[in-house]
Amino acid sequence: MVDPTPGPAGRGGGFRVLYDAGYEIDHMREELFARIASPEEAALLQLSPGEWVVELHRTTYTADAQRLWNFQQMHHEPRPCSVGIGLGSHDLGVADATVDLYQRGMMPLIVFTCATSRTTRERMPRGEAEHYRERALELGVPTDAVLVEPNARNTGENIRFSRSLLAECGVDILSVLLVSKPYEERRAHATARKLRPQVEIVSAPGPMTLAEYVDSFGPAACPHAPTSEEEPVSKLTGSREISRLTCHQVRSSVCHRRSPCAVRQ
């Protein structure tokens, strides 16, 4: 069944709307879902009761979004370090990535660091770091191989408070495997280098593409994450991260590195 009449977006459809607004399409993903039609759909499409319909879900990514996503990553090759530090987030992906590195022999000790935020206080009421520890134990990490720093509320505190905790435990640190979400990797690395210049910092984000991260940020995967359109989009495209990285450089709280022209634009 084909209706050749242009839809609400006019000829060229949504792609034309995006093009006219100045967005360059980099790639897209389409998914098909089959289900029984609702009563309203059956009436509209003149279907018999119990007939099926197919939904097409299309996610379109601009070249700018992919460019920013790529820039935020350090592209380091994980290698053995004195300790792994997992930075808290709104889901357990960082915990899983940290455990995977531990089980591959990349570090003998893990530190999970973070309190809670407005996006996690309901889902992780005991604190992000504590929930990460519980996840690590579920996955087979020994209790004595995991330390918890439960008070940090930003990246600078993650680094400083973890350093204090390790010092209290008498752990000598020559190198750190820093595990974070891919979109915050560059800022986390720059912060750690600024606060711990004598320590080698190796970044190791969870293995995730932009498309996979879009899925992980949805309501089903993260019911207490921000639901306004602007906040998750700014996270995913890296625009907020670029702004934070620039502001932290001005305040000298991270090591300075000028962003490429294509990223700043």
Are residues 27 and 157 located together in one domain of the fold? no
pLDDT of residue 14 exceeding 60, the answer is: yes
Model confidence band, residue 30 (pLDDT cutoffs 50, 70, 90): confident
CATH code of the domain in which 245 resides:
3.40.50.620
Lowest mean pLDDT among 1-15, 51-65, 220-234: 220-234
pLDDT in tens, 88-131: 988 888 999 999 999 999 999 999 999 988 878 888 999 999 99
Query: How many of the other CB atoms lie within 10 Å of CB of 19?
Result: 12
- pLDDT number for residue 35: 92
- pLDDT number for residue 212: 75
Task: Return d(Cα 157, Cα 173) in angstroms, integer.
Answer: 17
- Pairwise pLDDT comparison (249 vs 75), residue with the higher score: 75
Task: Return d(Cα 56, Cα 33) in angstroms, integer.
Answer: 7
pLDDT of residue 25 exceeding 80, the answer is: no
Are residues 89 and 204 located together in one domain of the fold? yes
CATH code of the domain in which 33 resides:
3.40.1410.10
Cβ partners under 8 Å of residue 43, min gap 6: none
Is residue 135 within 8 Å of residue 41, measured between CB atoms? no
**Quick check: is 29 in a domain?**
yes
CA distances (Å), 232 to each of 123, 175, 183, 186, 248, in order? 17, 32, 12, 18, 21
Are residues 202 and 133 located together in one domain of the fold? yes
Lowest mean pLDDT among 44-48, 60-64, 116-120, 158-162: 60-64
pLDDT of residue 166 exceeding 50, the answer is: yes
- pLDDT number for residue 28: 76
Are residues 150 and 111 located together in one domain of the fold? yes
**Quick check: is 17 in a domain?**
yes
HEC profile of 21-58: CCCCEEEEEEEEEEEECCHHHHHHHCCCCCCEEEEEEE
Q: At what angle do helices 63-71 and 239-250 cross, to 10 degrees?
A: 40
- pLDDT number for residue 117: 84
DSSP codes of every residue in 218-245 = STTT-TTS--SSHHHHHHHHSHHHHHHH
pLDDT of residue 211 exceeding 80, the answer is: no
pTM: 0.66
Are residues 80 and 64 located together in one domain of the fold? no
Are residues 160 and 209 located together in one domain of the fold? yes
HEC profile of 116-171: CCCCCCCCCCCCHHHHHHHHHHHCCCCHHHEEEECCCCCHHHHHHHHHHHHHHCCC
The last residue of a domain, from among 30, 52, 69: 69
Task: Return d(Cα 74, Cα 207) in angstroms, integer.
Answer: 12
**Average pLDDT score, the chain:** 80
pLDDT of residue 207 exceeding 80, the answer is: no
Return the bridge partners of 253, or none.
Answer: none
The last residue of a domain, from among 69, 87, 115: 69
pLDDT of residue 174 exceeding 70, the answer is: yes
Domain residues for the domain of 89 are 72-264
Are residues 165 and 214 located together in one domain of the fold? yes
Q: What's the average model confidence in pLDDT over 10-21?
A: 67
Task: Return d(Cα 35, Cα 24) in angstroms, integer.
Answer: 33
Q: What's the average model confidence in pLDDT over 47-51?
A: 92
Are residues 132 and 225 located together in one domain of the fold? yes
